[in-house]
Structure 1
Amino acid sequence: MSRRCELTGKGVLTGHLVSHSNRKTKRRFLPNLCNVTLLSDTLGRSIRFRVSANALRTVEHRGGLDAFLAKASEETLSQSARLIKREIEKKIAEAA
């Protein structure tokens, strides 16, 4: 399983661990990924995602999964998140 957030696309970064003697050795900065279940109001069901803690805060700030996916660009989303976004758009279009 890749270490990438399914909603924001945030992934692993690389850099240096710098010692007291100023020696630099390579290290990896891993994203803070959490397995969460988010509820979609439009679809009326829950969906499991592996998202970063930062993305989870953003979802709550924007008012839920549906509002987050409405504003999110397709490039940053994972394949499963894109499918959910299209389902939500389709359901909203049918209701209108």
Structure 2
Amino acid sequence: MSRRCELTGKGVMVGNNVSHANNKTKRRFLPNLNDVSLMSDTLGRTFQLRISASALRTVDHRGGLDAFLAKAKDAELSPRALKIKRDIAKAQAATAA
């Protein structure tokens, strides 16, 4: 399981620990990932996703999973999230027709 947010693509960053003596040693900055269940209003079901805390706040701010995925760039999404996005678009097109 990779340390990457499924919705925003946020992943591990690298940097340095800098001591008082200005010694530099490599370190990793891990994203704050959480396992959450998000409900899709269009599909009427929940999806288990591993997303960052900031992505969860953004999903709430935009009005749910459907609205978030509609505005999200395909390059940032995981293959699973991309499939959910396509399923939601297909369901919305079927109800609009």
Q: TM-score range by the shorter chain?
A: over 0.9
Alignment length (residue pairs): 96
Length-normalised TM-score, structure 2? 0.98
AA aligned to 2:20 is H
The reply on whether 1:72 has 2:53 as its aligned counterpart is no
In the alignment, does 2:71 pair up with 1:85? Answer: no
Which aligned pairs between 1:17-56 and structure 2 lie closer than 5 A?
17-56=17-56
Structure 2 segments unaligned to the other structure (5+ residues): none
Task: Output the TM-score relative to the length of structure 1.
Answer: 0.99
SS in 2 for 1:74: coil
Q: CA RMSD of the aligned region, Å? A: 0.3
Structure 1 residues 42-77: Cα deviation after superposition (integer angstroms, max 9, x where no partner): 000000000000000000000000000000010000
- Identity, % of aligned positions: 68
Measure how far apart 1:4 and its partner are: 0.2
Alpha-carbon distance in structure 2 between the residues aligned to 1:24 and 1:95:
58
Aligned to 1:59: 59
Letter in 1 for 2:88: I
Q: Does 1:16 align with 2:16?
A: yes
